[in-house]
Amino acid sequence: MRSPTPAESYPFQSLQLPCLVGGEFVTRGRVFENVSPVNGQVISTVTEADAAMVEGAVAAARAALTGPWGKMSSAARAALLRQVAERIEQRFPEFLAAEVADTGKTLGQARVLDIPRGAANFRAYADLSLGRGGECFETTTPDGRGALNYSVHKPVGVVAVIVPWNLPFLLMTWKVAPALACGNTVVVKPSEETPSTATLLAQVMTEVGVPPGVFNLVHGFGPGSAGELLVSHPDVSAVAFTGETSTGAAIMRSAAPTVKALSFELGGKNAAVIFADADFEAAVAGTMRSVFSNCGQVCLASERVYVERPLFERFLATLVERARALKIGGPYEEPDMGPLISRGHRDKVLSYYRLAREEQAQILCGGGVPHFGDERDGGAFVEPTVLAGLPETARCVKEEIFGPVCHVAPFDSEEQAVSLANDTRYGLCAAVWTQNLARAHRVARQMQVGTAWVNDWYLRDLRVPFGGVKLSGIGSEGGHHSLAFFSETMNICVKL
């Protein structure tokens, strides 16, 4: 018997994806369709959580805080998280097939980034939670006997995890793993566009014996649906959110009456700054990656590329030539770039392509929709696009597009490069390309961002702070920063 092709491994083919509420998989009520961005066909249907399901999930999560999970040692919790990682690896082909079915992203990327990072997130936080210490201060007192202060970490409570569709499994596990490592319980609301890997993770949680109610899954939408119901729920203590800046603002409003802890990873309009002394090949290859990976749907993507004038023409010409050569296609065709997530998102990206014309950009390549002459014409593909010649005030230079497009502009001095890169309301990341070590440090430090990469892009170490400034977010994730967000730190003062 032949083994199934990767496409046939999609575990929910023509099935209805359930929610997970208090350890029970639930499929009652309304459904919505999960549509392939590769060809527009329905690949599965999804149970939309109603108010009662969200209520049930939050109640189960609250009850689980004081059940076996709440009594478990941190070492036992860490051991369970390692089992989650192992089970993800055992079911790797299904996770892979599910992620590429929902997103259309390239199999190559999902294989080396999205799914392995999901497993790595659980291992990293299992380790980090065990190496955690507290603070201790000896205090002098008027009677001379003194006092001892020490801190202990406790779970925050029920955490709502609300995540987007661009790196669905990676970003969901990036929050679920530290939240669970700290002893919290979670209610996860994945994006309505990408329900499959979250559903597989729900299965994994039950398979490895995570107690009922610790991990709950509610599918649905944002406003007026599971997302809003969760963030406004009085028994949800914290919201860990990744998504658009405007959604972050809406969540802040919904969460305000019940005063919750919020962690926000939001949008970006990131700059790549390329000095004339950069390693040319590395800078071009890195910029290609930072502009076109995941069809430009990465919050860290470089949508603004600034090149020192002596290198400008050569760099631009090479970038355009390589962008034109990118092979576009479905996940299993070994493409360089897949489709956007949906026709809806394609409308948004195409509106910026039109706007670029109206703003009188030079459109050096792309700017439209590719035609395949097959079922892919029913998908959400767009052409990789390079723009130049726009003023810095143009909307295409100022607003996050979240597609495979960048604007390239020249600069004449280090000071001007820094000023151009920082002239944005966002502040997620920057990429600086130079072989001058002193300049690399000097420029990186001046970037008003959460992460500045030097001579690379999206190189990750899970222990380092990761977050955005300005409109790009509130707080940092990563390493002990995540552990701090997902814990209440309490001080105990003992009079001696």
> Where do contacts with ligand 6OD occur on this chain (CB under 6 A)?
166-167, 171, 174, 298-300, 460, 466
Cβ neighbours, 10 Å, residue 408? 25
Q: Is 155 in contact with 483 (CB distance < 8 Å)?
A: no
Q: Could you tell which of ligand 6OD, ligand NAD, none binds residue 53, using a CB distance below 5 to 8 A set by kind?
A: none
Q: Could you tell which of ligand 6OD, ligand NAD, none binds residue 222, using a CB distance below 5 to 8 A set by kind?
A: ligand NAD
- Between residues 211 and 467, which has the closer beta carbon with respect to ligand 6OD? 467
Q: Is 153 in contact with 182 (CB distance < 8 Å)?
A: yes
Least distance to ligand 6OD, CB of residue 486, Å: 15
Q: Is 359 in contact with 394 (CB distance < 8 Å)?
A: yes
Q: Is 81 in contact with 122 (CB distance < 8 Å)?
A: yes
DSSP letter for each residue of 371-438 = --SSGGGGS-----EEEE---TTSHHHHS---SSEEEEEEESSHHHHHHHHH-SS--SEEEEE-S-HH
- Of 168, 232, 224, nearest in space to 199 by CA: 168
End-to-end CA distance of the chain: give it in Å, rounded.
74
Q: Could you tell which of ligand 6OD, ligand NAD, none binds residue 144, using a CB distance below 5 to 8 A set by kind?
A: none
- Between residues 10 and 165, which has the closer beta carbon with respect to ligand NAD? 165
Q: Is 200 in contact with 91 (CB distance < 8 Å)?
A: yes
Least distance to ligand NAD, CB of residue 217, Å: 12
3-state helix, strand, coil in the chain (%, to 5): 40, 20, 35
Residue whose CB is nearest to ligand 6OD in the complex, by number: 299
Least distance to ligand NAD, CB of residue 213, Å: 21
- Between residues 88 and 167, which has the closer beta carbon with respect to ligand 6OD? 167
Residue whose CB is nearest to ligand NAD in the complex, by number: 222
Our answer to whether residue 299 is catalytic in this structure is yes
Two structure tokens written together for 149:
């202060």
Our answer to whether residue 399 is catalytic in this structure is no
- Between residues 50 and 228, which has the closer beta carbon with respect to ligand NAD? 228
Q: Could you tell which of ligand 6OD, ligand NAD, none binds residue 224, using a CB distance below 5 to 8 A set by kind?
A: none
- Of 196, 187, 262, 204, nearest in space to 22 by CA: 187
Pick the catalytic residue from 192, 265, 303, 400. 265
Least distance to ligand 6OD, CB of residue 35, Å: 21
Q: Could you tell which of ligand NAD, ligand 6OD, none binds residue 81, using a CB distance below 5 to 8 A set by kind?
A: none
Q: Is 162 in contact with 230 (CB distance < 8 Å)?
A: yes
CB contact set of 313 (below 8 Å; sequence gap of 6+): none
Q: To the nearest 10°, the Cα dihedral for 184, 187, 192, 195?
A: 80
- Between residues 77 and 233, which has the closer beta carbon with respect to ligand NAD? 233
Q: Could you tell which of ligand NAD, ligand 6OD, none binds residue 227, using a CB distance below 5 to 8 A set by kind?
A: ligand NAD
Least distance to ligand NAD, CB of residue 410, Å: 26
Alpha carbons within 13 A on the beta-carbon side of 108: 10
- Between residues 158 and 266, which has the closer beta carbon with respect to ligand NAD? 266
Two structure tokens written together for 173:
């596990």
Pick the catalytic residue from 19, 182, 299, 396. 299
Q: To the nearest 10°, the Cα dihedral for 473, 475, 477, 480?
A: 170
Two structure tokens written together for 287:
């910029």
> Where do contacts with ligand NAD occur on this chain (CB under 6 A)?
162-166, 171, 189, 191-192, 221-223, 227-228, 231, 242-244, 247, 250-251, 254, 265-268, 299, 400, 402, 428, 468, 472-473
Chain centre to alpha carbon of residue 232:
22
Least distance to ligand 6OD, CB of residue 58, Å: 25
Least distance to ligand NAD, CB of residue 298, Å: 7
Least distance to ligand NAD, CB of residue 121, Å: 14
Least distance to ligand 6OD, CB of residue 294, Å: 8
- Between residues 268 and 331, which has the closer beta carbon with respect to ligand 6OD? 268
Q: Could you tell which of ligand NAD, ligand 6OD, none binds residue 417, using a CB distance below 5 to 8 A set by kind?
A: none
Name the one residue in this structure whose structure tokens are 């100022």: 398
Q: How far is CA 326 from CA 81, 151, 336, 366, 483, in A?
A: 39, 54, 6, 11, 40
Q: Could you tell which of ligand 6OD, ligand NAD, none binds residue 460, using a CB distance below 5 to 8 A set by kind?
A: ligand 6OD
Q: Could you tell which of ligand 6OD, ligand NAD, none binds residue 381, using a CB distance below 5 to 8 A set by kind?
A: none
- Between residues 166 and 185, which has the closer beta carbon with respect to ligand 6OD? 166
- Between residues 6 and 168, which has the closer beta carbon with respect to ligand 6OD? 168
The residues annotated as belonging to the active site are: 265, 299
